[in-house]
Amino acid sequence: MAQIIPIALPTPYMVGDVNVFFVDDERPMLIDTGPPTREAYTILTERLEALGCPVAALKEIVVTHFHPDHVGLAQVLAKEAGIPVRLHPLDLYTLRLSSEKAIGFFDGWDLPPGWDPSQFDTNHWIPEKYRPAGVTFQPLEEGETIVTGSLRFDVVDIPGHSLGHVALWEKKNRWLFTGDTVIPGLAPNPFIYHVEGERVPTLPMYLKSLDRLRRLDAETLYPGHGQPFTDLAAELDATVDHYRQKALEVHAIVREQGPSPLREIAARLYPRQIESQPYMVISKTLGCLDLLERAGLVRSQGENGYYQAAGESEKKNPADALDPWLTYATR
């Protein structure tokens, strides 16, 4: 009988352990692969051996998104198994974005001193020894079904946390693999991404993805971090409430201090984290500003420049104006 076996792997990142899911079926499959470290590789391969499925026996490697704790070992494992890595094309694009394009996008931004542009160079995320030659990437397509035997996994596009983030939906058993889009007890961050120099507003995109997941009748949720859980609606509500509160805080900051640069707004929103976690803080603040701008509550003054309260926003109740942009299912 087919089964799902979670394998928790340690990571060197702030997020802690990451979940890899082994699909024990006629065509064995891994969902995500863990970080590019010797420790993670040893734990994962030994666990697969103990389960009776050495790496060479894998038939599918599917990655929910391109972040290194999820894709880090994918190429090494795929090389050993002689199979491609399945990844959404937009995430493959971001993973292979040249250093100059990735770092140059932020030229001219008034950013905190702790901001390190090298973190956007994805070539440094995965050491060369974990990127062997000859590995191919096969795109994951919306609506595609991956059949492992008795199980059928539908690919669902849920962009936001990354541009090409996907979920896997096993409808028969009502299993949903959410990657980092839904994590119990946390509000995942839709980070800053751009395509050919144009920034993509990821928080509005992310909230649409949450609504899409809300429509699925999932019984068991398998997240990228933390334990499997059952109450999807409660986690979605908590995440939406988090962004509602943060967006209202950003609006209050802009109204109070007048036209302000992104960096100053972020520093007011997260004064303790702005130096230690600038990318996280800037991403969340910019996402809130994108929402507020769509709701007509703030307006920008130049690309990545200053933001100010929109003149007509004085006539609006901020929460009422914002709510339709937080829950797209009612639009």
Kind plus residue range of the DSSP H or E element containing 30:
strand 29-31
The DSSP H or E segment spanning 264 is helix 262-269
How many Cα neighbours within 13 Å face the side chain of 89? 4
Pair (205, 269) in one structural domain: no
What domain range includes position 265?
Answer: 240-326
Which one of 187, 209, 230 terminates a domain?
Answer: 230
Domain shared by 53 and 180, yes or no:
yes
Is 235 domain-assigned?
A: no
Per-residue pLDDT of the chain (331 residues; tens, 9 = 90+): 899 999 999 999 989 999 999 999 999 999 999 999 999 999 999 999 999 999 999 999 999 999 999 999 999 999 999 999 999 999 999 998 877 787 778 777 777 777 777 777 777 789 999 999 999 999 999 999 999 999 999 999 999 999 999 999 999 999 999 999 999 999 999 999 999 888 999 999 999 999 999 999 999 999 999 999 999 999 999 999 999 999 999 999 999 998 899 999 999 999 999 888 888 999 999 999 999 999 999 998 766 578 888 876 566 789 998 988 887 543 4
Asked if 40 and 16 sit in the same domain, the reply is yes
**Same-domain status, 206 and 87:** yes
Kind of pairing between the strands at 175-179 and 166-170? antiparallel
Give the pTM. 0.94
Domain termination residue (choose one: 230, 251, 268): 230
Residues 226 and 135 in one domain: yes
Our count of domains for the chain comes to 2
